[in-house]
Structure 1
C-alpha cells in the first residue's frame, strides 16, 4: 500500500515539496543554494564547477646588476687628465711662491691615484701607472713654475718659454734640482700609488 504525499496547503498540486532529509540533517535556509558536499569526505577537495584559484604570481625579476667598476682604459684616461690639470695647478703654486711645496706634490699624486682607482677599479697595474703619471705631473709642474718665474725675469710670456724655449726650462730644472726636488717627486709617486689602492677598495 502506497502512501500519497499530503496535498499542498495553497491548493497547487504542482508546487515543489520540500525535500525531507535524514533526521538530524540541517536544512539550508530558504533562498540560499545548498553547498555541494565532498564525495570523499575531504572538505578541502576541489568541488566540481568551482572556480580555479588564480595562478601563482611569476617570480620577481632579478635586480639589475650594479654598474661594473674596473674599466682600466677609462681609469688611465681619467688619471692622465687629472695629471695635466694638477700639473698646471702645481706649477702655478711654484711660480707664485718660488718654492716647491711638499704638500702640493702629495696632493698631485693622491688625486691622480684616487681618480685612477675610483674609475679603473682594483687592477694591479693602476697604482703603478698612477705613480708614473704623478712623476710626470710633478716634473711638468716644476717646469711650469720655472717658466712662470723666468717669464717675470725675462719679460716674456710663460707660454712662449714653454713652446719656443723648452730646452731652457729643462736646463734650468737640471741646474736647480736638488735632493728636495727628487724627494717631492718620490712623495708624489708614493701618494699616487697609495691613493689608487685606497680608492679601489
Structure 2
C-alpha cells in the first residue's frame, strides 16, 4: 500500500515520492508552508516537521528560564564561585603589579607610576652601591646624606608655587601630555599635580607637560 502525502493526503507513488521530515510527499507538494515555493532536499528548512524556504523559516527565540527557587540557588552559587575565583587570582597576583581590570587612563597612570618607582629604586640602589665602593676611609669622608634622605624622593614645592628642577634620569614620554627627559635637563616652572607627577617645561626641548616627580629634583 502506498503512503499518503504529507500535504494533500493522497497516495504517493514511488516515481514521485519524496521522503523527508518523517513524511512522504509528492514532489509538487513538497513546498514552503507560507509562499508555496517548490523545494528540494538541498534548499528546504524543516520546522515542526513542515518544510519552509529560507525567507519564511520561523524565527525562534530563546526561552526565558523561570526564576524558580532552584534556579535562583544555582545562580547565587555561580556568583559565589566567580567571586571566590576572582579573590584567588587576586591573592595569587598580589605583589606582581597592578591587575588591569579596566584599561582606563587612570589605571594606566597608576601602573606607570609603580613602574617608575621600581625604576627609581633600582637607580638609587645602584648609586648607593657605587658610592660605597668609591667611598674614602671614614676619616676623609665629607658630610653624607643620611639613609633616610637617600631613600626618599626630593621634597616638592607647595601646591601653587613654581620652582626649577633638574632631571636625574632620562625618561621617554608615553602619552601625548607628557614630556621626555634626558639626564641633566633643566625643567622650569614646575608645579605639583598629584602623587608621583608634576607639570613643567623642559628648557632644552621647549616641551611643556607632565613628568614623573621621582625623575627630577629641585635646583
Q: Same fold (TM over 0.5)?
A: no
- TM, length-normalised to structure 1: 0.28
- TM, length-normalised to structure 2: 0.26
Larger Cα-atom Rg: 1
Which structure's residues are more often helix, by fraction? Answer: 1
